[in-house]
């Protein structure tokens, strides 16, 4: 591994935070190789949905999600039955410092839930009528002794890759990033070592287009990216990035 320099933005200047940052810096440098640019870590998504050039050419659709701080009752990767796809988040940081989870689901009409805004038990939709609204729910959470050392905001992007016509590819983003939050701020729990998030995207009808060569139904591959942006330059410099592969969904029109 070549010579690298690590920059960590410390949001608390006390000696404990500096000590913890030093430990995680040493661990990252000792066990993982990354590409470093401008003294900042650049963590690219696992199985990115497309090349950077293709992402630049994607149509951008702004959908402001409903943002909450609830969690799944029965996470599928912890023996539960909530019908969500399990993703990856902060997988390059040792779990002893940051333990993170990410989940996603697309549903035509998941229904209302007083606790979760949308029913977390509603089954995902493998086919979506483009003439109707549909919902993409994204849950993610982190816990561990380094959680309070991070700050900034979350960028959540949903990529739609058309299987038959790349000109129809699009990406959905929120107008405003999701705040990282502080303990007991009216949304986040009181535990300083925990953060939890739920972004529910209500996608308007006719956002997704069908391939004219396949006018009745078109397959899209959906991927969600979750990136923590730093508080200084809004760049993904903390190493906390993730992805959820929602796999292929058949979009149709009736």
User: Which ranges of the chain would DSSP assign to H, the alpha helix?
Assistant: 15-31, 52-57
Residue 237 banded pLDDT, cuts 50, 70, 90: low
Does residue 17 have a pLDDT over 70? no
What's the confidence (pLDDT) of residue 87?
97
Does residue 72 have a pLDDT over 70? yes
Class of domain 42-252: mainly beta
Distance CA 140, CA 58 (A): 25
Mean pLDDT along residues 69-88: 96
**Residue 36 forms beta bridges with which residues?**
41
Looking at every residue in the chain, the average pLDDT score rounds to 83
Question: What's the pTM?
Answer: 0.80
Does residue 37 have a pLDDT over 60? no
What's the confidence (pLDDT) of residue 238?
66
- The answer for residues whose C-beta is within 8 angstroms of residue 22's C-beta and 6 or more apart is none
46 exposure class (CB count in 10 Å sphere: 0-12, 13-18, 19+): middle
């Amino acid at each position: 591994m070549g010579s690298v320099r690590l920059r960590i933005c410390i949001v608390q200047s006390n000696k404990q935070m500096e000590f913890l940052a030093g430990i995680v810096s040493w661990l990252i440098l000792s066990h993982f190789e990354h590409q470093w640019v401008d003294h900042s870590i650049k963590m690219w998504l696992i199985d990115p949905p497309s090349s950077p050039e293709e992402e630049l050419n994607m149509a951008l659709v702004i959908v402001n999600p409903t943002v909450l701080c609830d969690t799944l009752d029965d996470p599928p990767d912890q023996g539960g039955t909530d019908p969500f796809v399990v993703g990856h988040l902060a997988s390059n940081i040792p779990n002893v410092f940051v333990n993170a989870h990410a989940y996603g689901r697309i549903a035509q009409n998941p229904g209302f839930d007083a606790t979760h805004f949308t029913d977390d038990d509603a089954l995902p939709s493998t086919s979506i009528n483009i003439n109707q609204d549909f919902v993409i729910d994204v849950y993610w959470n982190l816990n561990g002794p380094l959680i309070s050392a991070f700050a900034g905001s979350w960028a959540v992007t949903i990529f739609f890759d058309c299987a038959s016509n790349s000109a129809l590819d699009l990406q959905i983003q929120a107008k405003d990033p999701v705040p990282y939050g502080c303990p007991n701020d009216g949304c986040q729990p009181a535990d300083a070592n925990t953060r939890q998030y739920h972004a529910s995207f209500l996608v308007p009808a006719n956002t997704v287009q069908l391939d004219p060569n396949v006018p009745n139904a078109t397959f899209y591959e959906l991927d969600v990216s979750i990136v923590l942006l730093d508080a200084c330059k809004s760049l993904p410099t903390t190493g906390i990035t993730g992805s959820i592969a929602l796999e292929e969904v058949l979009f149709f029109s009736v």
